[in-house]
């Protein structure tokens, strides 16, 4: 598969090489490279429904792992994922790549690397674009999966790469409530609170093994 998604992944590797998570993704899960998925540890009666995806996982055999599904479902790149990854890539100071997901989901990895703006500025801008586009187009699927990280300069990185999952209804409600152009508001707090628990996975810091359900 020769697509813009492949070129994005390669460009992301070159420009954001300090992020081990992205490096793993570029080396292990590009569209022309066979993926060796690793099932995540699942609680009793673990999730076998809903949107799932494969994400880079430094320190794990094969360099990838499933997230949000315990049954290792069939995954692939979707048209909607490509569209949203391309949309996120229009934000300066941010790299994006699509992730393989179940057919009912979109899955995008974004990494901010722009020391010239306050931490998280580029992430929020890209997220807003993607949420609004997803909310307007029901053909994009029923689940939104996001893996996000920020390359922090001149200080310790306070937050590890994190994966989130929302239902279509939650994204639509956020768009209807009001996604702020900058910063956060009450609508944002409600939206991110909805992803707490089983719909948030803290991925490993550089070089470590992933943890979380």
In Å, how far from its chain's centre is CA 209?
18
* Three-state secondary structure call for residue 3: coil
d(C-alpha 50, C-alpha 92), whole Å = 32
Return phi, psi of residue 101, to 5°: -145, 170
Does residue 155 contact residue 192 with C-beta atoms inside 8 Å?
Answer: no
For the chain, the 3-state helix, strand and coil shares in percent, each to the nearest 5, are 35, 20, 45
Does residue 108 contact residue 98 with C-beta atoms inside 8 Å?
Answer: yes
Please give the C-alpha separations between residue 16 and each of 54, 90, 94, 111, 118, in angstroms, as whole numbers.
20, 16, 9, 8, 18
pLDDT of residue 180: 94
CB neighbours of 115 closer than 8 A, spacing ≥ 6? 153, 154
Residue identified by tokens 């179940």 is: 102
Locate 145 and state its tokens: 């999966």
Please give the C-alpha separations between residue 194 and each of 106, 122, 132, 165, 174, in angstroms, as whole numbers.
18, 22, 17, 9, 10
- Among the ranges 17-26, 42-51, 195-204, which has the highest mean pLDDT value? 195-204
d(C-alpha 74, C-alpha 57), whole Å = 18
Half-sphere exposure of 212 (CA within 13 A, CB side): 23
- Is 141 a residue whose pLDDT tops 60? yes
Of 9-23, 126-140, 170-184, minimum mean pLDDT range: 9-23
* CA-based end-to-end distance of the chain: 31
148 closest CA partner among 133, 165, 130, 163: 163
Of 20-29, 161-170, 194-203, minimum mean pLDDT range: 20-29
Return the domain boundaries, the chain. 4-202
- Among the ranges 15-24, 37-46, 149-158, 204-213, which has the highest mean pLDDT value? 149-158
């Amino acid at each position: 598969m020769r697509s813009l998604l492949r070129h994005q992944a390669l460009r992301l590797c070159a420009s954001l090489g300090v992020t081990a998570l992205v490096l793993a993704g570029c080396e292990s899960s590009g569209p022309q490279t066979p993926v060796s998925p690793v099932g995540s540890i699942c609680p009793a009666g673990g999730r076998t429904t809903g949107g799932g995806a494969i994400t880079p996982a430094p320190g794990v055999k094969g360099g990838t792992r499933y997230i949000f599904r315990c049954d290792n479902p069939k995954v692939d790149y979707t048209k909607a994922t490509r569209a949203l990854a391309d949309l996120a890539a229009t934000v300066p100071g941010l790299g994006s790549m699509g992730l393989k997901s179940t057919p009912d989901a979109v899955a995008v990895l974004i990494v901010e690397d722009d020391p010239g703006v306050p931490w998280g500025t580029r992430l929020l801008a890209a997220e807003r674009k993607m949420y609004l586009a997803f909310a307007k187009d029901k053909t994009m699927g029923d689940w939104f999966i996001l893996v996000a990280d920020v390359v922090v300069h001149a200080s310790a990185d306070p937050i590890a790469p994190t994966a989130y999952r929302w239902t279509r209804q939650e994204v639509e409600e956020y768009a209807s409530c009001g996604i702020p152009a900058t910063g956060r508001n009450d609508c944002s707090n409600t939206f991110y609170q909805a992803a707490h628990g089983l719909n948030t996975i803290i991925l490993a810091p550089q070089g470590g093994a992933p943890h979380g359900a």
